[in-house]
Amino acid sequence: MLSAEILADLLPSKTIGESLFIFEEINSSNTFALGLARKGTQQGTVVLTDSQTAGRGRLQRSWFSPPGANIYGSLIFSCNTSPLTLGWVPLMAGLAIAQAIENATNINLSLKWPNDLLIHERKTGGILCESFKQTPGETCVVIGFGINVNLPETALPPELKAIATSLQIHANQPLDRHHLLKFIIPAVEESWGTLMTQGPKACQLAYHPRCSTIGQQILVEFPDGRTQEGIAVSIGEQGQLQILPLPSSPSGESDKILNVHAGDIRHIKSSSKARENY
């Protein structure tokens, strides 16, 4: 079990983690955190659980949440800022967590837009950010994250073996989840502060080189079911993925950039030309 006493001693901040909830099992750390936030809990509240019965990912997907092995957590923040800045929160969180895990383990991670954590193109974690208006001028943001930590390859369900991985598999040994959280939680807090004070530009500059989607030929599936193939060329000022659609016919051409604000992305193959030109 995760220990509130151990973790409280490890966290350096006097803001985040002052209110700390750790459960053996709940339905979803984000669902619980949103409930707390609507009741007016303080900024910096941390919710962690050893297991989730209804873990949620992006696009209403379920999240594989076995007990005692991984990290499932949510952090509560509050801000008075523009929608432009809020659009960068999921990307900021993914970037902060990827950097924190590298610092703690020396395992290299990349990001699939917007915030899937990858090791060698296999997913080891994801971010789910949810928000609501507390007052006309103030927004509450819950940053949820799930990270596969101590899952041996044999523990992955058959449908995930080809696309998922864990930190243990690449470290060749189990990892201390308290140690990882010591890096992850302050990193998210620091990056949140940077985003709120300096705006999206600082995040954009750091995110771009870590995003393995850039330069890839990709397939986008939009929430309404439409699909589009293209080359991912950049990240826009609102955090959107900018793609160059593939020609509709072998002889056709297209030079109009398409902005993708929401959708499921599948990497097809890398395009060095896209990285050189953009």
Q: Where are the domains of the chain?
A: 4-210, 216-277
Between the CA of residue 118 and those of 61, 107, 193, 247, what are the distances in Å? 18, 11, 25, 29
Per-residue confidence band for 275, with pLDDT thresholds at 50, 70 and 90: very low
Give the residue-averaged pLDDT of 205-209. 91
Would you say the CATH fold of 216-277 matches that of 4-210? no
Residues 181, 71 contacting (CB under 8 angstroms): yes
Q: What is the mean pLDDT of residues 211-237?
A: 92
What is the per-residue DSSP string for 225-253?
S-EEEEEEEEE-TTSPEEEEEPPSSTT--
Q: What pTM was computed for the model?
A: 0.89
pLDDT tens across 125-140, in order? Answer: 999 999 999 888 899 9
Q: Can you read off the two tokens belonging to residue 151?
A: 């899952």
pLDDT, position 146: 94
Q: What is the pLDDT of residues 136-183, one digit of tens each?
A: 889 999 999 999 999 988 888 888 888 899 999 999 999 999 999 999
First to last CA, the chain: 47
Phi first, then psi, for residue 11 (nearest 5°) are: -80, 125
pLDDT for res 140:
94
Between 1.10.1200.10, 3.30.930.10, 3.40.50.300, 3.30.750.24, what CATH number should domain 4-210 receive? 3.30.930.10
Which pLDDT belongs to residue 68?
83
Question: How much is the CA Rg of the chain, to the nearest whole Å?
Answer: 19
CATH architecture of 216-277: Roll (2.30)
pLDDT, one tens digit per residue, over 48-66 is 999 888 766 554 455 566 7
- Output the pLDDT for position 254: 59
